[in-house]
Amino acid sequence: MSISFAPSTWLIYYCYIVGAVSFVLNVLVILIIIFKSYKIVEFQYMLLAFQISCTNYVLQLTILSQPMSLFPILAGHCEGFLASYFGIWSHYLITLILVSAIVEAQILIGCVVFKHQAIAQVLNKHVVSKKIRLLRKSSYVFVPGSAFLTFLQGSTRREDQLKFIESRYPKYLSEFKNLSNFAIYQFNIWHVFLAIVGVIGGMFCAITGVYTTVDIFKMLQEVQTKVSSSSFQRYQSAIRSLVSQMFASLMLFVPLFIFVMLITGVDNGQFIGELLQSICALQSIVNAVVLIFTTPSYRNFVLRQLPQSRIFGSSRTNTNFRIQTPGISAPPRIITTL
């Protein structure tokens, strides 16, 4: 097997560009949610939390950490700001990326469940109990916290890393010595536990998301007769936006799944890992664009700011004005003003 220990130049530049664009775009989206929402209620706060989680994840992946894989060895090093300038161990940074992805998935599913319960309360059906709501809210702390502590236990201790390399991969010992900051992993009980919990948790989130979304569309047909048309349109646009964001989030979770399940046994694993990482980095940008253009109030605000929209709008106004002003029967006052 051939492993490149030199940082991938194209991936580093790609990460900085995508990270900067994503950060600016997500900050704009956060401001739009705050100032251009119909009213700031709990659902808007959840959208804000989701957008902040997207921003946090992409910053971790592209600027703060920039993980570089060393496949097919289960190892990696980081080239980002926190690793290069603060010397934070790559294992901690990789753990934070994993936890950030989990938090993002939780909040997105939480947004869907919250909107489902808002409609359910209007119809007084499929309303979950307070205990389940409390359990769901506590999972926002318990699940990422447990994943963080479990994954921390899964790495070879920093002081034992070179000994492990010397015993398992002696021909790469000199290359690893030249890396000032790397993490290496070996399968143990912590990895098995984390994998089992991850599969179960992923299946639970997928089933919850699909069931809740299908049930929402069924209830929308009933709620239309119980709320005003403006409220119904807001319900409808919010659901469409959330469903679109769930599909956009596949750009994060499908590459991560492939990354974990297949990458170690594939030739050219490093390049495939970099390619999957570059796809994950785009997810935050896609989510921001989807949120804007699937929410009518946000979409209309953005379109009004585009210079092209202003030009077209003014040309349509002038055209209408010219059509109305000519003619024999035009009032003298209008002709005078021309």
Say what the pLDDT of residue 265 is.
58
Contact 68, 83 (CB under 8 A): no
Say what the pLDDT of residue 18 is.
94
Closest CA to 253 of 104, 148, 137, 112: 104
- At 317, the amino acid letter reads T
Say what the pLDDT of residue 338 is.
32
pLDDT tens string 151-192: 888 777 888 888 888 888 888 888 888 888 888 887 778 877
pLDDT at 62 over 90: yes
- Of 232-236, 263-267, 308-312, the range with the highest mean pLDDT is 232-236
Taking the mean position of all CA atoms in its chain, how far away is CA 194? 21
- The confidence band for 321, taking pLDDT boundaries of 50, 70 and 90, is very low
Please state which architecture CATH assigns to domain 16-301.
Answer: Up-down Bundle (1.20)
CB count within 10 Å of CB 43 equals 17
Find the helix packing angle between 90-123 and 250-262, rounded to 10°. Answer: 130
User: Taking the complete model, does pTM exceed 0.75, yes or no?
Assistant: yes
What is the rounded average pLDDT of the residues 19-31?
93
User: For residue 68, which phi and psi values (nearest 5 degrees)?
Assistant: -120, 120
Domain boundaries, the chain: 16-301
- The confidence band for 17, taking pLDDT boundaries of 50, 70 and 90, is very high
pLDDT tens string 101-127: 889 888 988 888 888 888 888 888 888
Contact 165, 55 (CB under 8 A): no
More confident residue, 68 or 237: 68
Find the helix packing angle between 189-223 and 229-248, rounded to 10°. Answer: 150
